[in-house]
Amino acid sequence: MFLTVATPLLLAVPSRDRAALDRMVRFGLAAFLVVGWICWLLLFAYRGWLTLGNALPLNLCDWACVALVVALLSRNQFAYELGYFWGLGGTLQGMITPDVAYDFPDPQFLFFFVEHGGIIAALLYLTLGTGLRPRPSSLARVVAATLFYALVAGIANWWLGTNYGFLRAKPPGTTLLSFMSPWPWYIPELVAAGIVSLMVYYLPFAVLDWSRRKR
């Protein structure tokens, strides 16, 4: 978790005014995310764990990963917004309360933190090293995209009997959902928590804009 924060900070400073270095870092982070994702699936396939419930890219972290790969390769604003808010709102929570069966140094543990840590590192680098940042209009776009994700995941869960997005049941470990109401009442609570997290993660930029206007 220390490397997740320290690595983009160290890479962002020398990359700000060097286009070639910035491109190399962005493409390297994108490759890191893709390779980590592939290794995670290969590990599950090798151990016979791969099922409909974990093989499809229908977790919010999967969508955050795809959005950040697009943002790293193209510096697309919308893809960055999705990766920023989904990464901090979902992936960071996953790192704090990891849903893994094995401890360090098992490959499942390592690949889990490689992938989730790579998502956080990517969004921090894009924010600190490339000048991308969320705007007030980002909030409505991210809310709409998140509701679309919930619709897709919900339909898949209904059709396949899976639990993507934890929309059908809480995860077995202790997470934020553990302190919420039983299913299905925790779903509106989760929506409220998501809106609050959007505000919290946008707050630094709102304060920055306010201080600039004040000056």
Q: Is residue 102's pLDDT more than 80?
A: no
pLDDT of 97 above 70: no
Average pLDDT, the chain: 87
| pLDDT band, residue 14 (cuts 50/70/90) | confident
Query: What are the tens digits of pLDDT across the range 166-195?
Result: 999 988 777 777 788 888 888 999 888 888
- DSSP calls for 32-65: HHHHHHHHHHHHHHHTT---HHHHSS-SHHHHHH
CB–CB of 61/164 below 8 Å? Answer: no
Q: pLDDT over 70 for what percent of the chain?
A: 94
Of the candidates 94, 65, 99, the residue with the CA atom closest to the CA atom of residue 82: 65
Mean pLDDT calculated for residue range 134-152: 94
